[in-house]
Structure 1
Amino acid sequence: MRAHFAMLARYGVWVLPRLYEHVDLLPEPEYRGEAGLFFHSVHGTLNHLLVAEHLLWYRRFAEGASPSLRLDDEVEHDRAALRARLMDAAANWGPLIASWPDDRFDGSLDYRSTQGVAHSLPFAATLAHVFNHGTHHRGQITAAITRFGHPAPELDLVWMLQQESSAR
């Protein structure tokens, strides 16, 4: 389990610069404008990734904390600062995963939802959700980029694996 989640954490670090190579080229109206996404804009979706994956889920896994945030809270308005915070936050998952004993993956995660409801879920499956969630929203962003008429990045996990294999 640890090796699998360590790979997903590496992917989270690998994928963001590739996504941002394309996001950084978006003019402000495309970056902040309505794109038909659940969190409306590319900015809103990236901000949601910071809130959900790093300010909520990371703290639940790392500290057992359940912060009082809404999933659409704008925690970073500045696009460069949001980019930097996402990159920094993605780098935190690998060391956290490495720090857990093997039996942690077989346990449960107890936390409170953003509505204050107590949950106890399978640890590994819930961790998988966090990484899957990021893939889902990055896919939405790439769809918006192509809808705006720009080329989309290639973000498939297998590309990272091929790069790692070639580097060995």
Structure 2
Amino acid sequence: MSRQQQFVLMGRYNRDMNQRLFAAASKLEDDQLCSNMGAFFQSILGTLNHLYVADVMWLQRFAAGSFAGASCLDSVALLAKPTALNQIIYSELEVFLPARKSLDVTICHWSEALQEEDLDRPFSYKNSKEADFCKPFGLVLQHFFNHQTHHRGQLTTLLSQQGVEVGVTDFLLWIDEVTPELA
């Protein structure tokens, strides 16, 4: 499996897990979603918003790059640039869910359009504090997907503390079985 195919798989995993998290979160009352539970982004809603904000920030940076598939990110490039990593863009799940779904579909389409040869190219960008960086594009993509997984792990804990289980979240379940070679 190529690295590009791995990113396609990570995009699908991301999409499916976000749907599970929103389904689980929808079982809670507003005060449970917004309650400061001592997490880095305070609440379940705060953490869901952080994931969305960070995804938009990264995708807007990727859209400005000269990599294959950048046109798949045109709709994200038109979104308002988030102003802070803890910005609450959506305060109601019913409004938030369609935006999250749309972003996840965009990530899936974009990852399918990526080209293997782009993954080793340098990628220059500014972070949220306007500091300049230049790193291999493929490794930045690994960070992009790892960041999502990290915060979804926090969300599953926060949801569990509210009595809501998300179910199995292991990436392993998204990996297809293969036939072992005969000895």
**Cα distance 1:79–1:58, how it changes in 2: closer, same or farther (>3 A)?**
same
**Cα distance 1:68–1:152, how it changes in 2: closer, same or farther (>3 A)?**
closer
CA RMSD of aligned residues (A): 1.9
Question: For residues 25-77 of structure 1, what are the alpha-carbon distances to aligned partners after superposition, in whole Å with 9 as ceiling and x for unaligned?
Answer: 01111111011111000000001111001x20011112247x46210112222
Q: For residue 40 of structure 1, what is the aligned residue in structure 2?
A: 42
- Cα distance in 2 for partners of 1:152, 1:102 equals 33
In structure 2, the gaps of 5 or more residues are 66-76, 178-183
Q: For residue 175 of structure 2, what is the aligned residue in structure 1?
A: 161
Give TM-score scaled by structure 1 length: 0.88
- Cα distance in 1 for partners of 2:165, 2:126 equals 40
Identity %: 27
Q: For residue 148 of structure 2, what is the aligned residue in structure 1?
A: 134
Question: For residues 109-145 of structure 1, what are the alpha-carbon distances to aligned partners after superposition, in whole Å with 9 as ceiling and x for unaligned?
Answer: 2111111111111211111111111111111111011
- Cα distance in 1 for partners of 2:114, 2:22 equals 30
Q: Given that residues 14 and 160 in structure 1 are in contact (C-alpha distance below 8 angstroms), is that contact kept between their aligned partners in structure 2?
A: no
**Among 133, 150, 161, which residue is 2:164 paired with?**
150
**Displacement over 4 Å in runs of 4+:** none
Deviation at 1:98, TM superposition (A): 2.6
Matched, 1:60 2:74: no
1:78-157 alignment to 2 at 5 Å? 78-157=92-171
Q: Given that residues 68 and 114 in structure 1 are in contact (C-alpha distance below 8 angstroms), is that contact kept between their aligned partners in structure 2?
A: no
Aligned length: 162
